[in-house]
Amino acid sequence: MASLRIGILGSGYMGATYAECIARHNQRATLVAIAGGSRAPALAATYGVAHLDDDAALFARDDIDAVLIATPHALHHDQTVRAAAAGKHVLLEKPMAPSVAECDSMIAACERAGVTFEVIKTLRFRGSISRALQLIADGAIGRVRMINGRTLAAGTGIEEKHWAARPESGGMLLDMGCHNFDIICAFAGSEPRRISACVETFAAPAHRRLSAMSQISFADGAMAQMWMSFEMPRPSLPDHVHRYLVVGETGTLDIDGYGALALGRDGEWREIWRQPPIDWINRPFEPVRLEAFFRQTQSFIDDILDGRPATVAATQGRRAVAMVEGAWRSALTGATVELDTI
């Protein structure tokens, strides 16, 4: 197979983002068709590819090897299981699914079908975070001991009518929490064992699970805290929207997800890199934004074509959902949750 033939399910902001990546930038991949969502016909026309009526039509196509699913969370399980049954490889937008039970069933379906199943975690591929991960891998701060993460904003940016605000979508703890927990695990380089959390929604009636504080311990003794809130009073904390401190044996990383990456070691702080500004609304397809998405789609393509192990395995998508579920259960009763019970 010289080129991976890909169909996209979903035509929203993310569907359009991945269409741009695959059609214009990815190597060894062809965008074949787009289905799903009111914007699908226009999106397909933009890239001169087929527009199909629904997901079934996409799964039925012989000239599609892999599907990229960027639909509402609640559809992920059903669509992944059916794509696998049709023999398609799957690259699935985060969060993998609203529940661990669904994740397990999706993983089993893909194993049965013998298809590759990867989950999108673009934050790992984003500038300062991906560089921080590389520094940790290179031993720049020694073994990771402690992590503190903050994702703080004055609002979700999601309209109340949008599907992501509906209760079945699992609220912001699922939507953003699955990112945060995945990044924390990637920094720790160890498996999470226990979580305890408080989860609240202080204000906005239509949105759910907007604020959470979690405490996580890892198999190798590392520990982490994650504070997430989408109901900060304005003007919130402009410089701390998405920030992590990663403390190792010999040094510290200060990672602003959309700003500077600094390394504190040998008695001094050094700025390693600084994220150029991203204009999410007006210039979404500038390389500075597209980079992270492009890198993830390319990894998926290369994994399949070169027979490599998954870059972001579905089991890691499941792990993040398990942490979200663990955080919610812990918040429900106040008890610490052993993650291997989920």
Rule CB under 8 A: say whether 75 interacts with other proteins.
Answer: yes
**Contact set for other proteins, span 93-132 (CB under 8 A):** 98-99, 101-102
The torsion of the CA quartet 316, 321, 326, 331, rounded to 10 degrees, works out to 140
User: Phi and psi dihedrals of 285, rounded to 5?
Assistant: -100, 15
Segment contacting other proteins (CB under 8 A): 167-175, 214-222, 258-266, 273-281? 167-175
342 counts as binding other proteins under rule CB under 8 A: yes
Cβ atoms of 272 and 131 within 8 Å: the answer is yes
Q: Please count the residues of the chain.
A: 342
Which residue of 17, 156, 201, 229 would you call a contact of other proteins, by CB under 8 A?
201
203 belongs to the binding site for other proteins (CB under 8 A): no
Q: Which of 45-53, 178-186, 283-291, 327-335 is the region at the interface with other proteins (rule: CB under 8 A)?
A: 327-335
**HSE-CB for 34 with a 13 A CA cutoff:** 28
Give the Å distances, CA to CA, from 235 to 124, 211, 213: 27, 17, 21
Residue ranges in 174-193 that form contacts with other proteins under rule CB under 8 A: none
* Residue closest to 273 by CA, chosen among 291, 286, 285: 291
For position 167 contacting other proteins by CB under 8 A, the verdict is: yes
- The one segment of 23-31, 80-88, 220-228, 330-338 that binds other proteins by CB under 8 A: 330-338
Start-to-end CA distance of the chain, whole Å, equals 39
The two three-digit tokens of residue 140, written as one number: 């720049």
Among the candidate windows 2-10, 176-184, 236-244, 328-336, which touches other proteins by CB under 8 A?
328-336
The residue ranges that bind other proteins (CB under 8 A) are 72-75, 77-78, 98-99, 101-102, 166-169, 201, 205, 208, 325, 328-329, 332-335, 337, 341-342
